[in-house]
Structure 1
Amino acid sequence: MSDDLKTAKTALAKLHQDMDAINRLARPSYLKVIEQMERAMEPIRRQQLEISRALEMSGAAARIQEIASANQHWQELIKQASTTSRIAESLSAAHQSWIERIKPIQYDISHFSQLQASAKLDLCDTSLRLAATERLMAGINFEAIRSRFQIEMPVISGLESSIAHVTASYGSLAESLREISDITRLPAFVLPGATREIYTTSFAIEALCTWDEREDDDEAETEIQLVAEAELETSGCIALLQQVEPGLARPYIGARDALYGNNADRARHILSSLRELWNHLLRRLAPDDLVAAWIPGVPNQKDLLHEGKPTRRARVLYVCRELNNDPLTDFLMHDTRALVKLIELFNRVHELETELTDEQLRAILLKTDSWLMYILQISMGNFQK
């Protein structure tokens, strides 16, 4: 897997450069770059087919099967033939964030091809990240983590259950996007962001594994690149948080700064800040009074109130109320729960007087950055055309 990932990443980096060059041409042609994408991803596609068959036969954990199936689906979409009829309709149905990428002067075949190529290149990046996620998931042993840190079974089982649900909901999201046009109708950040969420969750859990359970040097090199990409993608989360609630941004910046400080109690500082952040942010994005006023219009009101107060489920549903995309809403719901369970696990490890390493703290911070970026992008109206 590692060699194929490294080769594909190199090829895709070149394709990104080629796309930029083609976009600047007066009469661009995207057929060649699309063909190159398919060739670059062919080793990964073949490997995914083999992995999927092996997983079905071995009875592997459902979370791994869900990831493998989703990746196989993305591979099929990359190879999906482009439909050139109704070009204007296809372009006009695309979300504004995609149109801003290609800036078409008129709705002709070249701009339709540009939209298709841009979406397929995103799918290639998504597939590579998901292949790495699959490897991380396969290496996670929840029982080994429980035994190593002497964690109570309810904490571990709660996290394991949340991971199973978030991977299943990602699989459902993948199944709901049957054509390239289904992807381009959504904002451009949606699919890469959801895949990043799955990856950073796996990365954070894997950080708690012992070194002999983890990757070899070649895989570590690929992981360093993927982590750096995720950090770059989420680098704007603080700016978004400051727009929503400056009062929450300041302590979070302090928590991030603590990672590189000499404070002996920095783990407690970081983890307590993360715990407070997600709780206060959800309440800021979905205030009690607004959620309570919105709930009567919801068809399924199960688990939306507890002792008269909106539940976490209700708040996430409220944030997603404009999405009009049930699989994506469901994914964000389970993704948020997974973050909560992750923070609970890291807190419990720290409470048991186990010293968390810089790498482990960096991993949970990256996961939080990713979740912040995703939920803030959704909540700030990016689903408007």
Structure 2
Amino acid sequence: MSEPIVGRLILEDGAEFQGTIFGNPASVAGEVVFTTGMVGYSETVTDPSFRGQIVVFTYPLIGNYGVPGDETDETGLPKWFESVSPHAAGVVVANLSHDASHWSAKRSFHEYLAASGVCGITGVDTRTLTQRLRSGGSILGKIVVDGADVPFDDPNKRNLVAEVSVREPRDYGADGPRVVLIDTGVKTNIIRQLVVAGARVRRVPWDHDFYGEPFDGLFIGNGPGDPKMADKTIERLRRAIADRIPTFGICLGHQLLALAAGADTYKLKFGHRSQNQPCVEIGTNRCYITSQNHGFAVNGDTLPEGWRQWFVNANDGTNEGIRHEYKPIRSVQFHPEAAPGPRDTLDLFHRFLEMIG
């Protein structure tokens, strides 16, 4: 066995956490955030919403069921991941399991991150670290390997959407309503669930002018960073609202739709990154358990005339969904497609297609 490599997680406020490096042994910087999910680390690190972030897993043992292979499904999408490669800048865990036990495991988490160029650090007191992030909020940080220092880097100052979006249109599904999916960092399971629901999906770049193409509905998925950076997407959505095009948004797509409608967004103290966020549907008072991954939110008090809050978070009262009073336009902050997490709201994909008619 090779000698363990000692590393440090250094926060911008000066706090340091020592541990052992795994994955790719190269120093990295980003925004330090935490996620409380017990499972789904493979989906988490490949979620484009984590672009530029150092992800702290609060669950104390990570890697015990390994990482599956690179198989694709019938649509040509990665079967086990939310994109073809990881987007997280780094990973922080309390205890890393080197013994993978699962029928689908093809490699360890360490081996997967090493091959993908992602640095991780284990042996960190993630409880203390998470309490610090909860009290002070998300903060810039860096994983320093063998004293090879790197400067702090704020990913939210970049247009992360442009970094993760496809460069050319791609098509999925053979039949059904024609749905243009604006790729602002969309997870593969959102595309998959649209196809399963019966849509013919055309995935286009974030700044693509799709109005010259025939389509029946518009969908905006998740993605990373500050929604106000995706100005060209917001411009396209303003026209969609004016033209009353059946439109649905998820996560970042929800925030972009709200901005296009005239509402405002803001940065949360430490975000919602978990698989057990309770959301109440206004009007029915039904509470759904949802999967979430976002650091920004919509200010529900800034919604203009004609718009209503659709869902609210039962924990902190933040906005979780909006809808237009008479136009076929809606969006949610949470992830109905899960991956990972509960599928309590999976029917929203079918409800979107019903809006198209």
Which category of TM-score, normalised to the shorter sequence, fits these structures?
Answer: under 0.3
TM-score, with length taken from structure 1: 0.27
Q: Which has the higher contact order (CA 8 A, sep 6+)?
A: 1
Of structures 1 and 2, the larger Rg is shown by 1
Query: TM-score normalized by structure 2?
Result: 0.28
Between Structure 1 and Structure 2, which shows a larger proportion of helix residues? 1
